[in-house]
Every structure is written in structure tokens, then in C-alpha cells.
Structure 1
């Protein structure tokens, strides 16, 4: 497991320095890092193998091998481990404010940022947490193949709509998500083969193998 920093992250960091927004960006970066590490630690605890953790200007993306192919309950535990960190950030920010370490205005600003990150991650857009939760819910009712196709199609349409109506920074994120979605759609057949193979060969007992 290792971190891979994208060139865009470095560029965004430099721009933050010149825009006097470095402190805010570093706090957001720390929130997102804790969020992703909670995913990783829960995945490792459940026996999943973790590869590279990619660092982008707007977040992290841990490579958890065959996450979608696992048991639904385990997937949800991994997803909510990261999302749950934001629920802990609210009292933590309040605690820091009570000890006069930040101003009331900055406290409110951090609260809003934390809430925005949490809500954005809950959007039903694959491969974000909300999209994977959506996939888990559908899997309770439908087959994995059908559920995945529905989630990918819905995510692509929804991300296009958000791109059209979103602000400039939202458009950049949506473009990146659409790129990931198109890649997932292209490898949908391959993913189904992998899922079927691992289900037939007792994935639960063999998920450590990539």
C-alpha cells in the first residue's frame, strides 16, 4: 500500500499558496485523508487487499481490490467507516472552538465544509460512497449484473446533469467522475466475469488474492 500524488494535486497546492487558502485546503485535505484511511483500515480488518491510494486535488481514492464483489454487509461497513468520520468531525470542530483555537466564523465555515463533503459523498454517483451504497441496496433485490448496470447508467446521467448546472469547480469534479464512469462501463463485462468467478470459488475464503 502506497500513496500516489497526482500532478494536479501539486498544481492545486501551489495555487492554494498564492490564493491564501492554504490553511483551509490543508484542513480539507486532512478530513479527506482520515475519511479514506477509515475505509482502508476497515477493509484491511475484513481481509481485503489494498493497493495504491491515489491523491487528487479534491480527495483520495484507495484501490481496494474486488470491493464490489464482497458480501454486501462487509461493503457497507467499509463505506460507512469513512462516512462516519464526518459525524465525528462535527463535535471535534466544536471542541476546538470551545478551547478558543479557532474563531466562531471559522468554526461555522468548517462545519459547512464538513457537511458539504459528507453530503457530496452520499450522492448516488458511482464510484463514490453513495453510488456504492446504491449498488448494495439494489443487490438486495436484483442480480449483481443488473444492479451494476442501473447504477452506472444512473450515475452517468446524474453526473452529466450536475456538470451542466454546477459551478466551475463542480464541473471539474464531474468531468473526472464521468471519466471514471466511462471506464467502468467499458469494463462492465470483465467485472461481471470476475464477480461470477469469485462467487463460484468462495470469494469469502479467497478475497486476499488479487
Structure 2
């Protein structure tokens, strides 16, 4: 990987990126390929700008041979609507660039051929990123929408399951049509989702820890009814994203979410009955 800082954001460039650049020079398509990567970078900067506007911490932007990924630290326990806004910021800039390409063609700044290439490239990148496959923008939007009606753990597992199936279908269709570029992308997305399943216990821990840290900032309160014999861990599986919870322990009393999280994260009371925390 190549690394560098840009406005305190680390830019990581995959080794295969340089291979693609070299191949584009050999085949005489360097201008087209570098333009695609500039479009992808602007797309990712849209995510970065919106995330920073919402107060999120953006650690890096990685350029891959077929796209880019912006890594953000504060996207686990935030309001689902914030996640949707950040996810849409990238495709929005693609739409802006499509409008610019039309204006440049209309004003005779660009030729019709180049304006068409720029417009189609932006449309393709925007629409591809809106596919409901994690970690594409569409996959993030789908998971955020599920978080409105389901606990975070259930929403994440459901969205990852759907993403894995869709990525597998993408690989299957690309094999039938012998489209190497789509096959590579499909394999990458399938691999990422399998890895997400394997790493989900860590991501769930991050979600709980972020909820504990963000307690003073979360204003929406969600009442949750639980049984006193339920374990601390099982109750944590019911917590939702973007809310603070007030737990009504049946027949016992009220338990703040902060007390539940402290018992789970710092006291290691995973199997303790939630009723004993009162």
C-alpha cells in the first residue's frame, strides 16, 4: 500500500492500482482510467465532507483498482438518518458532476464524446454504489433503514446476509457472461461480507462501546420491556442504534442503559440476570 496524508486523512493506494495505471498506459487509455479514479476520489470526498459536518472521525480513504472506500470511526451507534445522509453524499456529487459535464458540452468546453464519457462514468459509479450490498452506499442505506425498525444486531446480521447472497449472485452472473471486471468486484464484495460475518462480534462490541461513550449526546429515549431473568448479554442484543434506552425490568423497576452497558463492558457480567443489576 502507498500512504500519505491529506488534510489529516490518510490516503491508501492499493498496489494493484498502480498495475491498472500501467496497463492503461500500455493500452492507450490512461486519460480515461485516471479520470475514473478522480471521479471515485471526488465521490469518496463527498462522504468525508458530510461525515465531518456531522462530527464523525474519518481516518482514511483507500483507493482500490475498482473504486474507493472511506473509513469512519463513529458510524456504529449514530442516528440511522445520519448514516443515510453520509451514504448519499457520494452519489450526490456524481449527479453534480453529471450536470457539469452537460454544461461543459452545452458551452462547447468539452466535446460531445468526452462529455458523454464523463456523464456515463459518473452515472455508472453512482448507480453501482447504490446497490444494496455492504459496504457499498446502498448496503449502508439498507442497514440504516433496518435499524429504524430492528435492534442493531438483528439489522446488521440481516443486511450482511442479504449482501452476501447478492454478492454471490453477482459472481454467478459474471461467470455466466464472462465479465472479468464484474467478477473481480463480486469476489471482493463476497469476501468483505464473509469477513464482516467473522468480525461481527468485534463490530458489535464497538457498537456497545460507542453507545456507552455517546450517552450524553443521545436525546431520543426508547423504552424497552425485559424480563428479570434475561441475561445482560441477551438484553444488549435488543439495543437499537441512535437511541438511549430505559429498560423496564418486569416486576422489578427501571434500569438505565448506562448501567447495563457498564455491567457488560467493564464488569464482565455477560451471564448475569438483568434483574440483579437493580
TM-score (norm 1): 0.92
Q: How does 1:19-98 map to 2 (within 5 A)?
A: 19-98=27-106
Q: Which runs of 5+ in 2 are unaligned?
A: 1-8, 219-278
Q: How does 1:1-210 map to 2 (within 5 A)?
A: 1-166=9-174, 167-202=179-214, 205=217
Q: Could you tell which deviates more after superposition, 108-117 or 11-20? A: 108-117
- Report the 3-state secondary structure (helix = DSSP H, G, I; strand = E; otherwise coil) of the residue aligned with 2:55: coil
Q: Could you tell which deviates more after superposition, 105-114 or 23-32? A: 105-114
More strand by share: 2
The verdict on how the C-alpha distance between 1:204 and 1:119 changes in structure 2, with shifts beyond 3 A counting, is farther
Q: Could you tell which deviates more after superposition, 68-77 or 135-144? A: 68-77
- Give the number of the structure whose alpha-carbon radius of gyration is greater: 2
Q: Any idea what the Cα deviations from partners look like across 1:132-174, whole Å, max 9, x if unmatched?
A: 0000111111111111111111111111111111221001111
Post-superposition shift, 1:15?
0.5
Q: Which runs of 5+ in 1 are unaligned?
A: none
1: CA distance, partners of 2:75 / 2:20? 30
1: CA distance, partners of 2:216 / 2:19? 41
1: CA distance, partners of 2:11 / 2:61? 5
Q: Bigger relative contact order, structure 1 or 2, given CA contacts below 8 A and separation 6+? A: 1
Q: Any idea what the Cα deviations from partners look like across 1:86-133, whole Å, max 9, x if unmatched?
A: 111121001221232332233223222221111100000001100000
1: CA distance, partners of 2:192 / 2:23? 25
Aligned Cα root-mean-square deviation (Å)? 1.7
Post-superposition shift, 1:204?
6.8
The verdict on how the C-alpha distance between 1:204 and 1:148 changes in structure 2, with shifts beyond 3 A counting, is farther
2: CA distance, partners of 1:111 / 1:183? 34
- Report the 3-state secondary structure (helix = DSSP H, G, I; strand = E; otherwise coil) of the residue aligned with 2:149: coil
More helix by share: 1
Q: How many residues are aligned here?
A: 206
Post-superposition shift, 1:203?
5.4
TM-score (norm 2): 0.70
Contact 1:135 1:151 in 2 (8 A): yes
